Structure formats: structure tokens, C-alpha cells
A and B are shown apart, each in its own frame.
Chain A
């Protein structure tokens, strides 16, 4: 029988530094909730808003798969591997931090906020050589269907990471429904609603709600309004 855990949007942790508002689905930085540690290999789901011209100064990462999905505005990235890039709505970025990487992330624009999701997945290998990748997606490919944006396979659709994880984005019109069949063994799916109202296996979710589901083979998803959402299939043990 399917197991679920519901995280309503207004129960998330919040870091408010003035220039940054970061809503944390799981414990992060100074937000610590032992009931909110991870969903399988999904460890961090941060919903970030960065003021114009502001950002994160140089800081390190290691041994983590870090995926950024811009929702609005332009995010400028610079790292210790000499990558300099800007990602915008429709792009996706992945870093395998491995043995260690330093980077900065700034809002490129001074006159508007940048909004993005930052997602951390526990890697299935420690101490890999750090890598950076980004991809521009065709957003039309997620209209009323699921668009795979992350996978474990470099030959598969989307960007790849060091974990048996598959992410799909959907931008559905009201009333459109689809099924999602899980790919991995011992996997679960964490659904995050970006905008709108969505019903997943009978559970109604609204903007920024999250729902973890496991011990199930297939999800049935229906947009109750025009809606955008992200499905993250991750291993429950890793």
C-alpha cells in the first residue's frame, strides 16, 4: 500500500536575510527539524528568492549532486573550474561537487528578483571528480506532458547526475491528467508544486506544497488548475 508524507508550503523553514528568502522543505543551514531531514536521497529542496544584484559569495561544496532550476530571472554562476555561466527559466544546471568545488551564485540583474529551486541529492559515489553541466530545455516539451530533465544516464533525456534519480517537469492546463510509472527499484517520488493546484493519487496539492510517495508503482496526476510541478524520483536507500 502506498505510503505518503505531506509537506504543506507554510510548514517549510525560512531563512530571511533581507536580500535572500529561502524556503527549506528539509533541514538546511540554521533551520533544523529532525522530522524534516530528507526523502530518500533527496536531501535539500530550497525555494530561493534573491534580490536584484545580490547573491551567494564564494563558498564550497563537496560530495553532493546540486541541481538548480531557475523559475524567474537570471542566475550567474562562477566556479573554481573556471565555469562562468548564466542560467534562466528553461535551463537546468547540475554540479557534482565530489572532492570539492568553490562557486558563487548571483542575481545577474539589479532590477528584478531571481527565483530558483536548488535541490541536493546524495551521490551514489563519493569523491568523484567535480563536474559542472547546464542544459537549455525546450519548455514546450513539458506542456501537458512530462519532460524528463534529470536522469542517471548521460545518454538519456535531460541532465545526468551521480544517482539513480529521475526528475520530470510538467506544465499542465486545467483538467489534463497523466500517469508516471516509477523507474527505479526501491524508489519513491517527491512531488513539488511550483504553481497551481494538482491532485496526485487523490491528494490535492497547492502551490509550493510537497508530497513524498513510496511503495507504489505508478502515480496518477491531474491538474486541477493550470499548474506547474516537479516530480523527483529518488532511491529511498542509497
Chain B
């Protein structure tokens, strides 16, 4: 029996940092990431695909943050939304573990 990987969405305006975070998450076979910049693509994705955890990274404008949270609450109630800090491996895993543990 296989367990479905935890679905993690990373939203970040800086494309290099986004790619770094996605690469770090892919190193954990039990996690499956997707990523995009904030804006229309993020809203589209949050409306179409089911995620367990959403990480909000750098460069998201306040109105984009509000739209994203609204879209997530409508389409994916119960999804864990985490403000990601640090932009790399330092805090990333602990943030995801905390979200998965309901903290």
C-alpha cells in the first residue's frame, strides 16, 4: 500500500527562491510540491488542485494575500496556510512539519 504524498503549494514572487524551495521539498519523497508566482496563476491553481499545505513566500502584496486566503477558504477549507520565512532550507521543513502537526 502506498501513501499519497503530501501536496504542498509554494507561492513566491522571486522565481529563483521559488525554484530553490521546490527543489528542497522534492528531496522528501513523502512530499509533492507545486509552485507559482502570486496572482492569476496562483488563484487558478488554488481553485483547481487540492493541497494539504500552502506556503506563502516573499513578495506577495497584501491584496494578493487577501485574495489567496479567500480563494483557499472557498475552495479548500481546512488547508493549512503558512507564512514562509527565510527563503531556504533553514526553516522550511519545520514550518511544514508544524503545519502537518496542526500547530
Q: Which residues of A contact B (CB under 8 A)?
A: 27-30, 32, 34, 37, 43-44, 59-64, 97-102, 120, 122, 126-127
Do B98 and A60 touch (CB < 8 A)? no
In the complex, what residue of chain B is closest to A61 when comparing beta carbons?
A: B87
> Is B29 on the interface with A (CB-CB < 8 A)?
no
Q: What B residues does A126 contact at CB under 8 A?
A: 58
Provide the bound-state CA to CA distance between A32 and B88, in Å.
Answer: 15
Given A28-B91, A28-B94, A30-B93, do A61 and B103 touch, yes or no (CB 8 Å)? no
Q: Please indicate the chain A residues that have their CB under 8 angstroms from the CB of B103 in the complex.
A: 34
CA distance A98 to B13 in the complex (A): 12
Q: Please, which residues of chain A bring their CB within 8 A of the CB of B17?
A: 60, 62, 100
User: Chain B residues with Cβ under 8 A from A97's Cβ?
Assistant: 86-87
Contacts of B60 in A (CB 8 A): 127
* B94 interface neighbour in A37, A63, A127, Cβ under 8 Å: A37
A contacts with B: majority SS: loop
Which residues of A are found within 8 Å of B93, using beta-carbon distances? 29-30, 32
Bound-state CA distance A59–B86 (Å) is 11
How far apart sit A97 and B85, CA to CA, in the bound complex (Å)? 10
Nearest CB on B from A48, distance (A): 12
Per-position binary interface string of chain B over residues 68-103, scored 1 when its CB falls under 8 Å from any chain A CB and 0 otherwise: 000000000000000011111111011001100101
Instruction: Write out the residue numbers on chain A whose beta carbons fall within 8 Å of the beta carbon of B97.
Output: 32, 34
Q: Is the CB of A61 within 8 A of B94?
A: no
Which of B16, B20, B87, B89 meets A63, CB within 8 Å?
A: B87
Is B59 an interface residue, CB under 8 A from the partner?
yes
Interface pairs (17), CB distance under 8 Å = A28-B91, A29-B93, A32-B93, A37-B98, A60-B88, A62-B57, A62-B58, A62-B87, A63-B58, A97-B86, A99-B13, A100-B16, A100-B17, A100-B87, A120-B86, A120-B91, A122-B85
